[in-house]
């Protein structure tokens, strides 16, 4: 079999025993078909005794040709951020709920992967965002986001106030519950529930979506990939920045949050019959009558 991949890493949702059986079943299938199988170190810690080599994520990035992620979109978000600089192609097997990123089904993963491992796949590049917080001109926080960077109030019941600039040009001042800066991938996440537009993942665009703005004329806007989004905090009562709901940082008055497109992209692989629009119909129930 002339295949583009020889060494394949398997990564499962951490602390979820439901991934154990399908992961071991996939590992055995790959081993029987003469692939070199390695397992992520954290994933391996929840497996019974096995004979597969275990590697850290950094070692996986340096040594493997492909990574298969079994879990939900949250698992894929986490792995994608950590492996993006290694340009390892990723395949997602859905063991979660919606599964916008993990689009293969556990029930049919062996049949679908068999074809993909023989070369029957399509490649998709997706952008990430880099967020940094500047406090008195020093960088106090830095993180990547595959979905979104969110400025949001905590337990406080009051609105937050901040100023938004794009490429050093003043755009607006906003009183709201928060602001979502989303990638096309994140446009079907929190941004969608806040009234933001759905962006096709092939686009390199950034959406700014206010969360419950006090002024109804504040609407979502979409900017280009070279935009530098700057958010200046005016009111800092219990205010935080969240990156993919994974990395958090408490903000103070006069903090500046700079959000820009990250220069490297995530490489996702899909089966040849993958359709983004069909996925939207299925996940969002567009084919159902009220």
Q: Which residues of 251-283 are buried (b: 16+ CB within 10 A; e: fewer)?
A: beeebbbbbbbbeebbbbbbbeebebeebeeee
- How far apart are alpha carbons 32 and 30 in whole angstroms? 5
Parallel, antiparallel, or unpaired: how do β-strands 90-94 and 66-71 relate? parallel
Say if residues 205 and 109 touch (Cβ distance below 8 Å): no
Say if residues 141 and 187 touch (Cβ distance below 8 Å): no
Residue positions annotated with a catalytic role: 73
- How far apart are alpha carbons 124 and 113 in whole angstroms? 16
Say if residues 198 and 205 touch (Cβ distance below 8 Å): no
């Amino acid at each position: 079999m002339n295949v583009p991949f020889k060494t394949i890493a398997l990564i499962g949702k951490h602390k979820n025993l439901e991934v154990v059986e399908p992961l071991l079943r996939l590992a055995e299938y790959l081993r029987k078909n003469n692939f070199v199988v390695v397992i992520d170190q954290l994933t391996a810690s929840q497996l019974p005794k096995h004979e597969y080599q275990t590697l850290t994520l950094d070692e996986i990035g340096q040594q493997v040709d492909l990574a298969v992620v079994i879990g939900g979109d949250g698992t894929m978000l986490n792995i994608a951020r950590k492996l993006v600089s290694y340009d390892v192609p990723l395949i997602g097997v859905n063991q979660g709920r919606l599964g916008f990123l993990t689009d293969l089904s556990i029930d049919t993963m062996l049949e679908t992967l068999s074809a993909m491992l023989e070369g029957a796949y399509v490649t998709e590049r997706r952008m990430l965002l880099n967020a940094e917080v500047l406090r008195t001109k020093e960088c106090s926080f830095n993180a990547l986001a595959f979905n979104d960077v969110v400025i949001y109030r905590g337990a406080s019941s009051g609105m937050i106030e901040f100023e938004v600039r794009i490429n050093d040009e003043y755009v607006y001042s906003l009183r709201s519950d928060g602001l979502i800066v989303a990638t096309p991938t994140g446009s079907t996440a929190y941004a969608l529930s806040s009234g933001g537009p759905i962006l096709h993942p092939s686009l390199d665009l950034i959406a700014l979506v206010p969360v419950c703005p006090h002024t109804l004329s504040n609407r979502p806007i979409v900017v280009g990939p070279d935009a530098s989004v700057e958010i200046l905090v005016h009111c800092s009562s219990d205010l935080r920045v969240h990156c993919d709901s994974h990395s958090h940082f408490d903000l103070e008055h006069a903090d500046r949050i700079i959000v820009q497109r990250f220069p490297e992209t995530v490489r996702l692989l899909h089966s040849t019959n993958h359709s983004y629009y069909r996925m939207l119909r299925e996940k969002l129930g567009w084919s159902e009558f009220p």
